[in-house]
Chains A and B, each alone.
Chain A
Amino acid sequence: MSPKEIVLVSGKGGTGKTTVASALLFSLGEAALGCDCDVDGSNYPLLFAPSTLETAPFFHGEVAHLDPTNCTQCGRCTEVCGFSAIMEEPMGILPSRCEGCGYCVECCPVEAITLTERRTGTLKTSRLRTGGLMVHGDLDLGAENSGRLVAQVRERGRALARQEGRKLMITDGAPGIGCPVISSLSAADYVCIVTEPTVSGVHDLERILHLVSGFGLPLGVVLNKEGLSSHWEEQIVQLCAHYKAPLLQRLPYDVRFPDALRALKTLVELEETPYPEKIEQLKERLLEQIGVTV
């Protein structure tokens, strides 16, 4: 059976998306594989003390290279470069400034400049402290996430989940609602939106509900930080009703929540709090929604 993928998204950052994803992954144990599409701030693996089993480079866009042996130092490339990426002494291209537009390549009279794929990070497969596996990415300095990169991470995750016979993949989606998020959601089996009762939380909830329902994907909502504002909680309930999205769980606001993260623990490991039971209920509801038993 092909593994079912639950993707967690939030729009706004800091709503608890990754925290909920990690709690679900912990609770599901060997039944699930983790997949981290939030490579800009890759903190999903952090809570699991990952040890890397396998790495592969990933590429994003292009970068120009100048071969000094062919270069006649005519200076044409430095004139046309709109990003001041080409130095004259010594003649060479600063990869951190180059946007890969290729203008210099076109202008070079002796073909001393070429464009090559730009390596922007590493795709990793790691063993977690729970014994499970996670596919995640490590971006190089200054590199950015992209829809293509997210597609690569998920493709690797799905292949590994199938190979390892996992029933589920718990994917931490990219933040926001732009290209990497669309790439996180596309062809998901279920979308779980984590929101919070704040102005920006609710604003982004509406945007992401609109996006997900446009794709016709099954979805549900988790209201995190319950108790912060009854006004915004009411707005969340109304939005859920409008978009016919079930409100799957409410997680109370509690200072022990960030404490857990500081101690590198998942919510499920926070004994003497309501969280382990709440996550267990959420897990059962999600499994019911996608028709999987573990």
Chain B
Amino acid sequence: MKIVFTVEGTTPESQIDPRLGRAKGLLVTEDGLKTYTFVETHTINRGSHGVGPKMIAYLVELGADVVITGNGPGQKAAAVASTTNLAFFTGAQGLTAREAYEKYTNGLLPQFGGE
């Protein structure tokens, strides 16, 4: 399973970027952060408008299954996301990516749009 984190830095020790469309970058992992790749998202986050839906399209391109972030998508991005199989887990602001992963695996991060 491919998990993507929105991050302010470039490593698992970086803080989660609470923003989705304007996240500074993404960490991508398939083995619970034992190995990871950092992806720069300047081409998206420097856009003037409509960065949320663009980010969703990019996450689909990356083949992500789960996205761990702070706020989750806005209305338009959420509408686009609802046509995909992406699952968003929110409330990870203030944590590092590694801490957020811990919380996620323990079921402590709420799923966006879930109850």
Interface residues in B69-86 by Cβ distance below 8 A to A read 70-72, 74-75, 78
B19 and A216 contact, CB distance less than 8 A: no
Interface size grouping (class) on chain B = 20 to 34
A61 and B48 contact, CB distance less than 8 A: yes
Interface residues in A4-49 by Cβ distance below 8 A to B read none
Subset of 5 A-B contacts with CB under 8 Å: A186-B18, A186-B71, A211-B75, A214-B78, A215-B74
Closest to A179 in B: B49
Interface residues in A141-158 by Cβ distance below 8 A to B read 146-149, 151
Q: Does A74 contact B (CB under 8 A)?
A: no
- From A2, A148, A182, B47 is in contact (CB under 8 Å) with A148
Q: Does A162 contact B (CB under 8 A)?
A: no
In the complex, chain A residues whose CB is within 8 Å of the CB of B51: 147-148
A147 and B48 contact, CB distance less than 8 A: yes
List B residues at the A interface (Cβ < 8 Å): 18-22, 45-52, 70-72, 74-75, 78, 90-91, 93-94, 110
A146 and B74 contact, CB distance less than 8 A: no
A151 and B19 contact, CB distance less than 8 A: yes
B48 and A182 contact, CB distance less than 8 A: no
A147 and B49 contact, CB distance less than 8 A: yes
* Bound CA–CA A215/B112 (angstroms): 9
- From A61, A146, A187, A211, B19 is in contact (CB under 8 Å) with A187
In the assembled complex, the CB of A249 is this many whole angstroms from the nearest CB of chain B, namely 26
In the complex, chain B residues whose CB is within 8 Å of the CB of A215: 71-72, 74
Please provide the 6 A-B residue pairs with the shortest distance between their CB atoms, ordered closest to farther.
Answer: A187-B18, A146-B48, A182-B74, A179-B49, A186-B19, A148-B48
A216 and B90 contact, CB distance less than 8 A: yes
In the complex, chain B residues whose CB is within 8 Å of the CB of A2: 94
B50 and A179 contact, CB distance less than 8 A: yes
Q: A185-223 CB contact bits vs B (8 Å, 1 = yes)? A: 011000000000000000000000001001111000000
In the complex, chain B residues whose CB is within 8 Å of the CB of A149: 48
Closest to A181 in B: B74
In the complex, chain B residues whose CB is within 8 Å of the CB of A214: 74-75, 78
Number of A-B contacts (CB under 8 A): 53
* Bound CA–CA A99/B20 (angstroms): 27
Q: Does A183 contact B (CB under 8 A)?
A: yes
Q: Does A60 contact B (CB under 8 A)?
A: yes
* Bound CA–CA A146/B48 (angstroms): 5
Closest to B18 in A: A187
In the assembled complex, the CB of A142 is this many whole angstroms from the nearest CB of chain B, namely 15
Q: List 17 other contacts, CB 8 Å, given A182-B74, A211-B74, A214-B78.
A: A2-B94, A61-B48, A146-B48, A147-B21, A147-B22, A147-B48, A147-B49, A147-B51, A148-B45, A148-B49, A149-B48, A179-B48, A179-B49, A179-B50, A183-B22, A186-B20, A216-B90
In the assembled complex, the CB of B14 is this many whole angstroms from the nearest CB of chain A, namely 15
In the assembled complex, the CB of B42 is this many whole angstroms from the nearest CB of chain A, namely 11
In the complex, chain A residues whose CB is within 8 Å of the CB of B22: 147-148, 151, 183, 186
In the assembled complex, the CB of A131 is this many whole angstroms from the nearest CB of chain B, namely 30
In the assembled complex, the CB of A77 is this many whole angstroms from the nearest CB of chain B, namely 24
In the complex, chain B residues whose CB is within 8 Å of the CB of A146: 48-49
Closest to A147 in B: B49
* Bound CA–CA A146/B51 (angstroms): 11
* Bound CA–CA A217/B50 (angstroms): 21
In the assembled complex, the CB of A86 is this many whole angstroms from the nearest CB of chain B, namely 23
